[in-house]
């Protein structure tokens, strides 16, 4: 039986964690402390794996279902969704590590203390104004 938003919202914690299935390997795990975690269970290479999809209500049901559909497409192409997610995260972290702000901050660390607080504060403000959102 497919979940709906009302059922997910009204899921109450019990003494032990329990799962509420949505189909296609996706389920919501309700913890004793009241936390609700989305998981996707799948098989790849003959092994059962789980992929964390987020915390309810930060990640809504509709978004988790679209992620499940994307994961199914990857599995059909012979790609492990968990490994794909990790590789994308690594690429993103590498891009962020090479941003102008990170490199400028790393380069400026050795001479900050020698120039005094006011110059450093103004320099940091200038760097902050350069960041692109």
Question: Which CATH class for the 5-79 domain?
Answer: alpha beta
Mean predicted confidence (pLDDT) in 66-76 = 86
Q: With contact defined as beta carbons under 8 Å apart, do 29 and 17 qualify?
A: yes
pLDDT at 121 over 70: no
Residue 85's pLDDT band, with cuts at 50, 70 and 90, is: confident
Per-residue pLDDT tens digits for 105-115:
776 665 555 55
* Predicted local confidence at residue 68, as pLDDT: 87
47-56 and 36-44 strand pairing: antiparallel
Long-range contacts of 30-39 (CB under 8 A, 24+ apart): 36/8, 36/11, 38/64
Per-chain mean pLDDT for the chain: 78
User: Rounded to two decimals, what is the model's pTM?
Assistant: 0.61
Give residue limits of the domains in the chain. Answer: 5-79, 99-130
Per-residue pLDDT tens digits for 39-60:
888 888 888 888 888 888 888 8
């Amino acid at each position: 039986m497919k979940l709906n938003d009302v059922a997910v919202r009204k899921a109450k914690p019990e003494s032990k964690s329990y799962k509420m299935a949505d189909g296609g390997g996706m389920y919501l795990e309700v913890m004793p402390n009241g936390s609700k975690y989305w998981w996707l269970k799948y098989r790849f290479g003959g092994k059962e794996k789980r992929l964390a999809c987020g915390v309810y209500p930060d990640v809504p049901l509709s978004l988790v279902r679209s992620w499940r559909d994307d994961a199914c497409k990857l599995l059909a192409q012979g790609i492990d969704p968990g490994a794909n997610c990790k590789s994308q995260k690594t690429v993103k972290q590498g891009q962020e590590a090479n941003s102008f702000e990170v490199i400028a901050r790393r380069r400026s660390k050795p001479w900050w203390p020698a120039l005094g607080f006011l110059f450093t504060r103004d320099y940091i403000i200038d760097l902050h104004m350069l960041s692109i959102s």
